[in-house]
Structure formats: structure tokens, C-alpha cells
Amino acid sequence: MGEKINVIMRIQTLLSAAGALALVLGSSAVAQAPAANPFPPVNQKYFDAASPTTADVDAFLKAIWGYDTNRSWQVMAIQKTPAPGVSKITIFVADKSQGNKVDSVRFFVTPDGKYAIADTVFRFGAHPFEDNAKVLEAEANGPAEGAASKKILFVEFADLQCPHCKEAVPTMEQLRKDFPDARFVYQNYPLTEIHPFAYKAAATGNCVAQAKGDAAFFTYIKDVFEHQEGLTDAMAESTLTNAVKAAGADPVAVAACAASPAAKTTLDGQIKLAEKLGVDQTPMLAVNGHLMPLGGVPYETLKQVIDWDLKQEGVK
């Protein structure tokens, strides 16, 4: 049926170009970093799996990538997965010949430490998205628009400082037109390791929704995306203030709200939901529980998948 390829050779081949990396492994460009230090600090909370070790991963990457003197990498996470003994590895990769642009790569290692799997771990069976659908229906409580019914539930996980999330705005707008009977929920998932202003932008947005309603929230994020280049040390505060004003909310009151423990609790809950579902990149779309990356997929293909999913559920 299908050609069987040695996993190590497959990873070596697929990761030879950033385009293949993003398309096949679900990786994403995460930063344009300074040449001297292209990677963010390692956070030990993302190393909860007993094996493999960082040294094991480094040895594997050296074996397949050591020939390329332009390429450098950093092991960013070795995490447990729902599959017993299977570990998820996340690394950041930079290429000096490409200006040290950093990309993320994810793969999985089997319990015996002998095989790497360059795909995600997902549920098997005739209804593989059913569990996710139940979780999202119960817990995806971010700002929403569209239908009141959750029979067709679109949940977008996004980061307001993520360039790919900004690029996905036209896709989401087209989905709203093509699926007028769907309910669209926005779940904040700020990638704080690589986007320093994403958390504050998300907390501010939640407070706009709290003060002025969901419609104001969508006005706010539209303005943030339109002025995303302003999320810098020098301009972030004014960029967010202007977006709050565009949404019709009071910047002083919203800023106080965003700095409160309650706002942190709300946002941390949204982040935990994304992690619970295995969301590991942005933008990510869940359609009745089916998680699919929004980046790098032609709209026609995305719509075809969604139409098929809904047909299988008997939803017209």
C-alpha cells in the first residue's frame, strides 16, 4: 500500500528544507533571532519525561545533521504524552545561511528509545475526534460569534503576536462566510517562550470582552493584528491601548483588569485547555474536535476536510 521508509532517513530528508519541515511535521517559524543567540532560554518545566535525555536527542540530531555547519539546534522540551512511555520532543532549529531564522520541530520517541515518529500522537478508531469535541463543547469558553448552537463548533487557538495567526485572518473570515450555521470561538494560546507581549495582549483582550462583550473583543484582536508590528518594547503599550480604544473600552480600566490575579487565572485556564488537547502550535483550528493547523494549507483543502468531517457526523 504505502512505501515504508526508515524513520531516521525520513526525518533527515524532510528536515532538509524549512518548507518540508512546516508541511510534514507540523512545525512553525517562530522567530527572526539575532545571530549571536538564536534561541530563547530553556524552561525545565517542559522536561517531564524520563527518557530520552537531552544528550540522547543531541546525539541523534548530530548523527543526522552534523554534516551541515550552518545548522544549529536547541532541545526545548521532552514531554510525556497520553501514550504510555511515548515522549514528545520539541527542538528549535536555526540556519545561519537563512539569517538564523528559528523554526520549531516536533517528533516522538517510542518507549524502547529505538524509533522516532515524525508525526503526531492521536486517537485511533471510527470516531477519533469525539473526546476532543466533548472537551471543547464543555470548556472552550472564549469570546464567540456566529450561531448560538454548538452543533458545528469552530475553535481557533491563536497568539496575537504570532505572524502566522495574522496571516490566518482571511481564512477565518472565509470560514465564517462558508459556514454561517457554525459557532466560532477564539481561545487565547500565547506562546510566551517566543512572543514576549502575547500574554499581555491576550489578557487585555479578555478584559475587553469582559467589559464590552464578545463583539468588542473581535474588534480588539482585529486592530492588534493590523498593528502587530507595534508589539515591541517601545510600542507595545500604545499598540494595545489603541486597540482597546478601537473596541470602545476604557484603556485605564482594562489595563487594571489585565494586571489582576483574576485575569491571570482566566488566561492560564485557556492555556491549560490548549495543552490538554495537545495544541502545540498556532494558529490551530478545531472543528468539532478535529485539530488542524491553519498555516500552509490551501483553503480549498481545508474546506474539503471540514465538509467531509461534518458529513461523517451527519451535519448538513
The whole-number average pLDDT for the span 144-171 is 97
Report whether pLDDT(3) > 50: no
113: left (phi over 0), alpha (psi -120 to 50) or beta: left
CB 281 within 8 A of CB 104: yes
* 49 three-class SS: coil
* pLDDT(150) > 80: yes
Of 129, 73, 69, nearest in space to 103 by CA: 73
Query: What does CATH list as the number for 130-312?
Result: 3.40.30.10
Going by pLDDT thresholds of 50, 70 and 90, the confidence category of residue 160 is very high
- pTM (predicted TM-score): 0.71
Supply the mean pLDDT for the chain: 87
Q: Name the 3-class secondary structure at 154.
A: strand
User: What pLDDT is stored for residue 120 in this prediction?
Assistant: 60
**Contacting residues for 221 by C-beta, under 8 A, at least 6 apart:** 160, 186, 205, 243
Are the CB atoms for 2 and 165 separated by under 8 Å? no
Span 239-290, pLDDT tens digits: 999 999 999 999 999 999 999 999 999 999 999 999 999 898 999 999 999 9
Beta carbons of 293 and 23 less than 8 angstroms apart: no
pLDDT score of 32 more than 60: no
Q: How far apart are CA 113 and CA 28, in angstroms?
A: 26
The pLDDT of residue 63:
85
CA–CA separation, 47 vs 55, rounded Å?
Answer: 13
DSSP SS3 for 123: coil
Domain parsing of the chain, residue ranges: 7-117, 130-312
Residue 98 pLDDT? 83
| E strand residue ranges, 160-281 | 183-188
Segments in 227-291 forming alpha helices (H): 236-246, 251-258, 261-277
Q: What is the pLDDT of residue 211?
A: 98
pLDDT band at 19 (very low <50, low <70, confident <90, very high): very low
Residue 228 Cα to chain centre, angstroms: 17
- pLDDT grade for 122, boundaries at 50, 70 and 90: low
